[in-house]
Each structure stands twice: as structure tokens, then as C-alpha cells.
Structure 1
Amino acid sequence: MKILHAGNLANLGYLATRELRKAGMDVELLMEKNPPKGSDPTRFDPTLNNSYPDWIFFYDKRKLSWKTDIIKIMRNKKYDLIHAYVELPIFAYISRRLFVAHTLGSDFRLLAFSNSIRGMLLRRAYKRAKIVLYSQADHLPLFSKLKLTNYLFIPILRDTSFYKPQKIVDSPYSDKFVIFHPPNLDWNLKRNDVFLRGFSEFAKINSNSVLIIVDRGVDAEKTHQLVKSLGIHDKVIFIKGPLNSTEMLRYYNLSDVVVDQFSVGSIGAIGLETFCCAKPLITFIHEKLHESVYGEVPPVCNAQNSYEITKQLEYLIDNNNRAKIGKQGYEWVIKYHSPNVFSRKIRSICESVLNEEKIEQIHEKISKIS
């Protein structure tokens, strides 16, 4: 059984391929040549030493032939199955090979519902796919709108051997209450402005607090302006982004609290990495949807507006509360998102697809893997 993973948004394709190979599966990765910084394995995995392994193959978007190059690679008969991420199920569909689709974010929330050619092709790809995998709880209600029944929830894996609790001995903020805010500065998608207003109220009575913001995104300039207008510029530190994985690991661990987004309603990579480092997470999630797909609600400090954000920060100023929530988050990510659990589930899914088992049978098998 030889599998091609196609796509590497936020290095998820690389991480999945690497861990599946460690588990003994014959897997290769197809990804973009000269990728964006956030999707470059050499920035994500320091053990690569700036060199790509021989199981990664590339397509080059600078070439006019890049789309047909993808399809040619997918049509290689050495592959028994294609595992295609984000928009690459379109190419798997055109290749006419056996494939599963894996949604990761706005590809499913937005593109699949658009009237564009890409949106139309993506909808067709989902219908042709043997299974549509999803890893975001807020995707669940969208399947019925697309009239899809071949879907399966699989928690995305995180590298729990790399992202882990560490003691930072040289932190310049050791005498401060440190809040880390690493998501893109995109007010529409992340509602960073809502968070800043909540932090502003918190900082009025907690003068010892400091907020570290990763300075990247379409609304970076607006964020700087808002910080000034709120009068909190003396409590905010902007660091140039994006950060690589080693830098992210350091900031997670020197922080007391990590704050993510307040719009999407699902836990993403930042949230899971926060859990790996046993730090409390403030974000917004749809609790009922998470309970539907996991069977229980993840231990986040849930907030949706500035007032709730302020209250969660006030709750987490207490050391015992932070320790309790951080421990619960760490236990959660090990239970649901460890490479071991993910690898066994993916192996089972691939074997079931190749054996032409029905989606109901696959659901039952996966539910027993923990």
C-alpha cells in the first residue's frame, strides 16, 4: 500500500507524512516548490538542517505546466491512493485516481460554497472522493449543505515530541504576567481587535501584564493604531513574524497564557500547540459541535467578546487556575491528537478504502482507536 499525500498547508502534509513513515507506512509527499514560509518543512523541522528528505516531491507554480505536473504525478501507478489536502482534491479528481479529500479551513468554509470554477470543481471532487476527512468541528454542519454523506472526523495531529512544556530560564519577562497572541492579524478572520479591547480593560487593573503580538497579517498597521488609541502601547510588544517552530516553542513556554482567534469557532494549530506546552488557551469554540465530534468539550477558556476575554484573563491571573487548565489541555492533546493515535487511524482509513468498505464500517473502526 503506497500513499501520496498531496499538499502541505501549514506543514500538516509534511508532519502527517513524516509520522506515517515512522509508523512503517509507505508514504510520500507532494508539495509546492519554494513554498510560503508557513508551509516550508525546513522552517518547521529543525532536524532537516535546511535539506528536504528524498520522499518529498515538488510542483513549481512558476512553470506554466504546474497543474498538469501535479496530475501526472498523481497518475503514477506506483500509488494506490491519494490523500489530498485543501484544494488539491481538485487535481486528484481530474486524475481519476482513487483518493480521499482532507479539508483544513477556509477551503471548506468558503471556497467550496463559492460560485467560482475552483469552488465548483472542489464540490465535484468531494462527491467523487471515497471519504472527505475533516479536522475542524465547525465544518460538521456544512456537510449537509453540500449534500455530502461520505465524511469522517479525524483530529489533526500535532508533534507532541517537539511542542512540549519547557522551563525558560532566560526570559526577559519573568516578573510579568505574559500573554502571547500569535495568530495572523486579520480582524475579519481572527477578531484581533475584539481581543485587544478585552486586554485593554484587563490591563487597567493588572499593570504587571505584558502582551506579545506576532506582527504579521493584512491588519498589522490597523492593529498598531488600535494599540496606540487604547493607550496600551507600553504593555504591548510586537515581534516580527512569521516565527519558525523553534521560536514559537520558546514563546509558548515563556508565556502564562496564549490567546488565539475569536471568530472561526474551532481549535487550530496554535490552540493544539498551546495544549502541547501545557499552557491555558483563550479562544472561541462552538462547544456543542466539539462535543459532537470528540464526545467531550476541550478545556479552553472560551470567550467570544471583549467582556468575556477580560473575565477569562482575570480568572487566569491565578497560578492554580493556570496550572489546572494547562494540565487539562496537555492531557487532551495527548488523548486525541498525538502522532500515535493519528497514524493508526489513517492506516485504518487507507486500508478500509482500498478494501472498498462502506463509510459506516469505517466510522465504527475509527471510533475504537484511542
Structure 2
Amino acid sequence: MAKRSIVIEPKPAYGRINPNKLGRILHLPYNAAGQMSSQANALKKIGINASFCDFYGSAYQYPTDIPSPIKNIPKMKREKAMLKFAQHCVSKFDIFHFHFGQTFTGYAYSDLPLLRSKGKKMVMNYWGTQIRRLSIAKQKNPFAIVKQTNENLIVSRLKTLSKYVDSAIVADHELLEYIDGYFKKIYLIKASVNQNVHPAYPNVHVKRPLVVHAPTHRGVKGTEFVLEAVHNLKKSFSFDFQLIEGMTNKEALRYYQQADVVIDQLRLGTYGTLAIENMFLGKPVVTYIRDDLQSKYPADLPIVSANPKTIETVLSNLIQNPKLRYRIGVKSRKFAEKYHLPEGIARQLITVYRDL
């Protein structure tokens, strides 16, 4: 698009914050990778009047706050229930923080005229799938893959939403490329993770290191290349491998704590919440970071970058070097604490809300 958005990396809001002046905030309707609940709960902890409502629930059993207005309601009747819920919330909240490209009425956006007519402040938080377009991604990433292949649908939704919502939030520069020009302002705010866990750094004396891979979507994560690399390396090295699928967060966490290497994804060119969770645990994390985006991240990013062509070499090096795994693990924990703690993210959000 010809017109560019104003891109802002908001500074955290410190000092005295008046919750009443800021207003009542509602996060909804999709708790992508637990981000919605992480943000809302972090805001609550620093005294902000924030709530969240997950319409759809999750196989990962993330916490809920306000009960879903569409639970047990047939799909054909859901939009009416969603709109009714919007009407109910208009008088109770001042700021609506939407997630995953959806509003009260999902992708229908039939609630937005009401919210605008009432002068409500709104911001959309995008998390990936709902905006990532292959035609753009392929320009800089030969390994790119997307879940949503209908680009006309993505663009149509962006155009409709941005008529009513002036501001959006994305976690990094990779996602920025897909929405630049649609919104007046785009804020860069990293993902946060509620991880009250002690680090479990890789043991330098372990005889058989444990490599873990957790694909939420095998194609997107590049699981076939991971499995091929593991198959080939097992011919030469002694190590264990665990694929994490169909588990609750609690079940998966047990494997992450024992892991010596965690492989996230090999195709997207950026890192997400799984990588952050394991950096908090003090693990070396393997994820593909696009070469052109390396400079956009902090210089102390400890991610070990690998793509489908290099994963076998990268993994081989980590399997053979226990001291390297430990050093990277220590750096991972420090990085996560520095950039991804929920309180810091919440204070950046306060700056955004004040700016709406």
C-alpha cells in the first residue's frame, strides 16, 4: 500500500498510574497461545481494571475470566449472542483490546459500528496466522508456509476492520510487514509468558541429551525436516527425542524441564511463545530467524537459528557440545527475563491505551 503506518515501540509506563483515568479494559475474544490472559492478568497485578473473555476455549487449558457468551450455542445463532454480549459490555468497559483479528462478532465485525458510535477506544492485537500472507512472506523467506491461503479474505478483513479501528499491535517486524499501511499506528510489543518457573539448565554431564519438538501444526513448524534430521543423527549419536503432541500445558512442561535442546519451528523466520517459554526454563531453543530480521531483534537474542536445510548440522553441533547447551541456556533465561516478563509488557500496553 502507498501509505505507511506510524510504527511505534512504546516505552513502559512507570510512575503513578490512575486506573480510573485509564478506564476499564476488556480483552477478547481469542486467547492465542495464552497471550490474552497473560496480558490481562499482568495488567490486573499492577492495579489496572482489566478483564478478559475467551469465547472459544483451548485444548491447552488456559485460564478464563469472564465466561464465554457462546458456550453451548449452535454456530448459526452465535453472532446474535455475540452482538448481545457486545451491547452488554459497552456500558461496562472503556477500552476494547481485540485479539487474533476478531472482535465481539468474530470476523463479521458487525459490532464495530456500535462501538464506534459510543466513542469506545479499540486496538487489535494480531498474532500471526490471521494476517500472514504467502505472497509477502516468500519475498524474503524461501521456506515460508501459511495456514490461511486465501489472501483476498485476509485483505478484505484488514480493510473492513481498519475502517473502525485505527491502531494495531504485533509482536515483531515479521508480522509488521503484513499490516503496514492498513492502520494509522502499529505498536511493536513482544509476547509475554506467565512462567513462574525455576530454570532447569541443561546438565553438562548428561550422557544421552533429550531433544524435544512440539509442533502445534506440523507443516508450519517444519516437523518433517526435524524428524528426518533426528533419524539421520541417531545413526551416529546417542540421544533421546520426544515429540510433544496432544498434551496439556502441564504435561508438556514436564518434558520441557527435562529437555537439553528444544526445537520450535524451521519455516516462519521468527520466534514465538514456545521459544519464550523454554527460554524462561533456561533451554537452548532452535528456531528459524530470517537473516534480514536478525538486526531487528536485540543483539543478545540467544536463539539458535536453523532452517530445513541446516537443521541436521545445527542439531548435531548442540548434541555434541554439552557446555554450549548450558551457556546458551543461561543466556536464554536472561533474555526472557529482560524482554518477555508480563509486567513489562503490561506497562507498554498502558502507554498504548493512553495513546488511543
Sort the TM-score into its range (normalised by shorter chain). 0.7 to 0.9
Correspondence 1:250 to 2:281: no
Which one-letter code corresponds to 1:124 in the other structure?
Answer: T
Q: Which has the higher contact order (CA 8 A, sep 6+)?
A: 2
Among 43, 46, 71, the residue aligned to 1:60: 71
Q: Which SS does the other structure have where 2:254 is aligned?
A: helix
From 264, 272, 296, the equivalent of 1:260 is: 264
| Mapping 1:188-207, distance limit 5 Å | 189-206=220-237
**Larger helix share, 1 or 2:** 1
Q: CA deviation at 1:180?
A: 0.3
Q: Which residue of 1 aligns with 2:41?
A: 18
Please name the residue that 2:15 is paired with: none
Q: Structure 1: 5+ residue runs without aligned partners?
A: 43-51, 216-240, 354-370
Paired residue for 1:41? 62
For residue 150 of structure 1, the aligned residue among 185, 207, 212 is: 185
Deviation at 1:167, TM superposition (A): 7.9
Q: Distance in 1 between matches of 2:201 and 2:221?
A: 29
State the match for 1:186 in structure 2: 218
1:244-279 CA-partner distances (Å, limit 9, x unpaired): 222222111101100111111111111111101010
Q: Closer, same or farther in 2 for the Cα pair 1:203/1:105, shift >3 Å? A: same
Q: Could you tell me which residue of structure 2 aligns to residue 46 of structure 1? A: none
When residues 266 and 250 of structure 1 are mapped into structure 2, their CA distance, relative to the original with a 3 A threshold, is same
Change (3 A) 1:296 1:73: farther
Task: Give the CA deviation at 1:62.
Answer: 2.8
Q: How many pairs does the alignment contain?
A: 304
1:5 aligns with 2:27: yes
Q: What runs of 5+ residues in structure 2 fail to find an aligned partner?
A: 1-22, 134-147
Cα RMSD after superposing both structures: 2.6
Q: Secondary structure at the match of 2:123?
A: strand
Amino acid in structure 1 at the alignment position of 2:25: I
Contact in 1 for aligned 2:24/2:95 (Cα 8 Å): yes
The sequence identity of aligned pairs, in percent, is 20
Shift of 1:150: 1.7
| 2:166 is equivalent to residue 135 of structure 1 | no
Write the letter of the residue equivalent to 2:79: K
Post-superposition offset of 1:79: 1.0
CA-to-aligned-CA distance 1:21-58 (integer Å, 9 cap, x gap)? 1111101112225x2313x325xxxxxxxxx55x4554
Contact 2:169 2:188 in 1 (8 A): yes
Change (3 A) 1:29 1:284: same
**Aligned residue in 1 for 2:11:** none
What is the CA distance between 1:127 and its match in structure 2?
4.6
Write the distance in 2 (CA, Å) between the matches of 1:94 and 1:304: 44
Q: Secondary structure at the match of 1:133?
A: strand
Name the counterpart of 1:230: none
Q: Cα offset for 1:325? A: 0.9
Give the counterpart letter for 1:93 in structure 2.
L
Aligned partner of 2:333 among 315, 322, 330? 330
For 1:28, which of 47, 51, 72 is the aligned residue? 51
Partner of 1:109: 132
What CA distance in whole angstroms lies between the structure 2 residues aligned with 1:73 and 1:283? 40
* Mapped contact 1:180–1:251 kept (Cα < 8 A): yes
1:28 to 1:65, Cα distance in 2 relative to 1, 3 A: farther
CA contact (8 A) 1:260 1:270 kept: yes
The one-letter code sitting in structure 1 at the alignment partner of 2:209 is F
